[in-house]
């Protein structure tokens, strides 16, 4: 899809989202008018269209890094909605998103980890999909080894989101831990102190790096 109206709407939405959030006088949108309802009424792009277009920009060789980051910011806001996060499977967006975890650009790795964290937080379907894509070891590698502090932080946040109250995610994280971080007992994903046995160790390790 290469609809100029969609491109302009995507650009406008990202440029104005931050100012709208910070403006206490900005009018609140009616609760019964979801983006998809508005799209149907006005003939504009749906959230699915916007998600696809955002990912197209993120993965394009012809888009500048600055504009990729704009598209990533828009994508992250979209997957805050659980229905949009779950729709990533049908739209085929998990694979291109996770590929960005290996980007040469630290900012893209960071944004990819941030989007993962947002999509899987308190969302079992998305947590399961992350495990299906075997992304936990990649996030663990970024959390421990990435030279960029922001990337490490976002990767740790993503691991936190996929391990809290989701036992398979915590088990996968424990299995991916380097030997020096291994724990000698079974951890319970429903126990936040148990989860923090892993997450806090990662945060401490990251803080000790330059």
- Look up the pTM and report it: 0.79
Same-domain status, 191 and 172:
yes
Tracing tokens 């949108």 back to the chain, one arrives at 29
Give the count of domains, the chain: 2
Same-domain status, 36 and 131:
no
Same-domain status, 10 and 54:
no
Average pLDDT of the segment spanning 121-126: 97
Give me Rg for the CA atoms of the chain: 18
In a domain, 135, yes or no: yes
Range of the domain at 133: 45-209
pLDDT tens column, 155-210 = 999 999 999 999 999 999 999 999 888 888 999 999 999 999 999 999 999 998 86
Same-domain status, 151 and 200:
yes
Count of helix runs (H) and strand runs (E) in the chain? 12, 0
In a domain, 126, yes or no: yes
Nearest CA to 203 out of 181, 182, 184, 187 is that of 181
In a domain, 27, yes or no: no
CB–CB of 38/44 below 8 Å? yes
Same-domain status, 165 and 77:
yes
- Max Cα distance, the chain (Å): 58
Same-domain status, 39 and 50:
no
- Percent of the residues in the chain that have a pLDDT greater than 70, as a whole number: 79
pLDDT tens column, 40-64 = 555 678 999 999 999 999 999 999 9
Same-domain status, 15 and 72:
no
* Measured torsion, CA atoms of residues 140, 156, 15, 1, in degrees rounded to the nearest 10: 30
The mean of the pLDDT values for the chain is 87
In a domain, 26, yes or no: no
How many angstroms separate the CA atoms of 36 and 192, rounded? 36
Tracing tokens 């944004």 back to the chain, one arrives at 111
Same-domain status, 3 and 59:
no
CB–CB of 130/121 below 8 Å? no
Same-domain status, 99 and 150:
yes
**What's the pLDDT at 31?**
45
């Amino acid at each position: 899809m290469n609809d100029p109206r969609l491109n302009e709407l995507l650009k406008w939405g990202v440029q104005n989202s931050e100012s709208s959030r910070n403006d206490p006088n900005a009018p609140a949108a009616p609760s019964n008018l979801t983006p998809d309802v508005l799209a149907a009424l006005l003939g504009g792009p749906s959230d699915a269209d916007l998600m696809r277009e955002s990912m197209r920009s993120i993965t394009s060789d012809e888009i500048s890094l600055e504009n990729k980051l704009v598209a990533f910011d828009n994508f992250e806001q979209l997957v805050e909605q659980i229905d949009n996060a779950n729709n990533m499977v049908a739209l085929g967006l998990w694979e291109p998103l996770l590929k960005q975890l290996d980007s040469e650009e630290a900012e893209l790795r960071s944004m990819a980890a941030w989007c993962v964290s947002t999509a899987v937080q308190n969302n079992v379907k998305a947590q399961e999909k992350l495990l299906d894509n075997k992304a936990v070891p990649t996030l663990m590698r970024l959390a421990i080894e990435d030279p960029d502090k922001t990337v490490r932080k976002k990767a740790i946040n993503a691991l936190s989101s996929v391990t809290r109250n989701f036992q398979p995610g915590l088990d996968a994280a424990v299995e991916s831990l380097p030997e020096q971080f291994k724990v000698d007992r079974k951890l319970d994903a429903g126990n936040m102190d148990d989860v923090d046995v892993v997450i806090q160790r990662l945060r401490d390790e990251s803080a000790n790096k330059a």
